[in-house]
Structure 1
Amino acid sequence: MIVRENEAITLVGGGAVARADFDAALARAPVVVAADGGADHALAAGITPRAVIGDFDSISAAARARLPDRVLHPMADQDTTDFEKCLAHVSAPLLIGVGFTGDRLDHQMAACTALVRHAGQRCILLGAVDLMFLCPPTLSLPLAAGCRVSLFPMGAVEGASDGLEWPIRGINFAPDGRIGTSNRAVGPLNLSVTAPKLLVILPACTLDLVATALLSAPAKWGAA
């Protein structure tokens, strides 16, 4: 591990990062690790990241010059994204990622894949409108009635729910089959799933609830 912490970590990527989203992540995860060009975002916010991890094809020369060598961890591997490199080399109870969703759909889809590949990490990706995370084996969220809940399978997975307007028990989810977008909570939500393949997408305003729920989940998937 390049960074190992007992408190939550904010991962900042090179995509668009609204300052409000960055501040929301920092309030809950004060240690910062940058994925490649995310170092520029961190420095612009007056923060020196604990580490910069990536293939270094997007960090600016100015940002690289401002950072000490001990912070820089270039990796030439082109088979994984910078986000995956961070997930593979950072350990913390919870990760909150900003700058990994937004305008570049290919980057966003790659981030979804990374969450599944590194299922042992408890990681929330925060955007301006929504957040998403990989559902742990069981999850309890005190959602308000009417809260939008989308469930997107990244592979074959089944589950059960209590607190959804359209329950999911008996559904065989698959990315090329049945998906679960735009469901709604009718009150506190309890989910259980059979495999680390189901992404949960909620409004960004639920960040505190999700962070607490993931840290409180009785079990998580196997080590990353």
Structure 2
Amino acid sequence: MCPNPGKMINLRKNSQIVRSEEPIALVGGGEIGPEDLNQTLIRVKAVVAADGGAIPLMDSGRMPDAVIGDFDSLTGTYLDRIPADRLFPIREQDSTDFDKALRSIDAPLVLGVGFLGGRLDHQMAVLNALVRLQDRFCILIGEHEIVFHAPPQIRLSLTPGDVVSLFPFQRVTGLSKGLEWPIDDLVLEPNGRVGTSNRALSDVELTVDGPGLLVMVPRDALNQVMRALLSRQTGRWPARVDGHPS
């Protein structure tokens, strides 16, 4: 049964389509594993669909609280079943539905499912948006790992041996504790050194000098990452203005 969205989210408030004081799920139309959706929905009260993401959500028995996108993937009976006041079309074709939805959500944390796997170009566009929308905390849930944009600092209690991959979308430097191969004194950049397939030795601490670094850790670390990002101890990057950091 769909809960009353009015108790959890506000629609069309403060120039955002969706505003919530609690974490929100964002569902895309890409590959979704058997437990992906369930593991996401049990951690939130409200859920937003990015265009065709409404289809697997509704097939699971859950009506989205809001649907955002260009609606080129959501037609027919699914579209007809969604109340009109939950539909928020954004018709421009210069951004992905993930971008449209994430920039329209004002929430302390977004859990994204249905955005990893499938076509590589779609995944790259999603990761690009994850970095550009640097002021939004969002965790993308994949089949084996989760991905998030590194905040200024973060501490995670990981299991020794866990894979910790760091991939820069722009030039960054930083400090680390608890990694088998520390990143201290290294310059990470997309056309140079990257930090994939590192491993946790104990609790991991990362500090980076600017936005642009994606962190990938095992999926069973989801609760750890959620707690860290919701702790207000990580810092947050400022919103970009006209494509540049403010």
SS in 2 for 1:19: coil
2:104 is matched with which residue?
89
Q: TM-score, normalised by structure 2?
A: 0.89
Cα deviation digits, residues 168-220 of structure 1 (max 9, x gap)? 01111111100000000100000000111000001111111111111114211
Q: Which residue of 2 aligns with 1:178?
A: 193
d(CA) in 1 for partners of 2:105 and 2:34?
A: 23
Residue aligning to 2:43? 28
| 5+ residue gaps, structure 2 | 1-15, 241-246
Instruction: Return the letter of the residue paired with 1:91.
Output: D
* Residue identity in the other structure for 2:41: L
- 2:141 alignment counterpart: 126
Q: Does 1:104 align with 2:119?
A: yes
After TM superposition, the structure 1 = structure 2 runs for residues 13-52 of structure 1, keeping only pairs within 5 Å, are: 13-52=28-67
Shift of 1:16: 1.4
Structure 1 outlier segments of 4+, above 2 Å: none
Q: CA deviation at 1:62?
A: 1.4
Alpha-carbon distance between aligned partners in 2 of 1:170 and 1:215, rounded to the nearest angstrom: 29
- Helix, strand or coil: the match of 2:165? strand
**1:135 aligned to which of 136, 139, 150:** 150
Output the CA distance in 2 between the equivalents of 1:19 and 1:215. Answer: 27
- Cα displacement (A) at 1:88: 1.1
Amino acid at match of 1:159: G
CA displacement at 1:75 relative to structure 2 = 1.0
Number of matched residues? 224
Residues 16, 99 of structure 1: 8 Å contact kept: yes
CA offset digits 1:90-130 (Å, max 9, x no partner): 11111000000001111111111011111111100001111
AA aligned to 2:236 is: K
Deviation at 1:59, TM superposition (A): 1.1
TM-score (norm 1): 0.98
Q: Residue 145 of structure 2 aligns to which amino acid in structure 1?
A: D
Residue 221 (structure 1) aligns with: 237
Q: Distance in 2 between matches of 1:144 and 1:170?
A: 25
Conserved? CA contact 1:138–1:217, under 8 Å: no
Identity of aligned residues (%): 49
Match for residue 114 of structure 1?
Answer: 129
CA contact (8 A) 1:140 1:217 kept: no
- The partner residue of 1:154 within 162, 165, 169 is 169
CA–CA separation in structure 2 for the residues paired with 1:174 and 1:127 = 24
The structural deviation recorded for 1:68 is: 1.1
Partner secondary structure for residue 14 of structure 1: coil
Q: Which residue of 2 aligns with 1:74?
A: 89
Higher relative contact order (CA 8 A, sep 6+): 1
Is the CA contact (8 Å cut-off) linking 1:132 and 1:201 kept in structure 2?
yes
In structure 1, C-alpha distance between the alignment counterparts of 2:34 and 2:197, rounded to whole Å: 27
Whole-angstrom CA distance in 2 between matches of 1:58 and 1:204: 28
1:31-60 CA-to-partner distances (Å, cap 9, x unmatched) read 110000001011111111111000111113
**How many angstroms apart in 1 are the aligned matches of 2:121 and 2:140?**
15
Q: Is the 8 A contact 1:40 1:60 kept in 2?
A: no
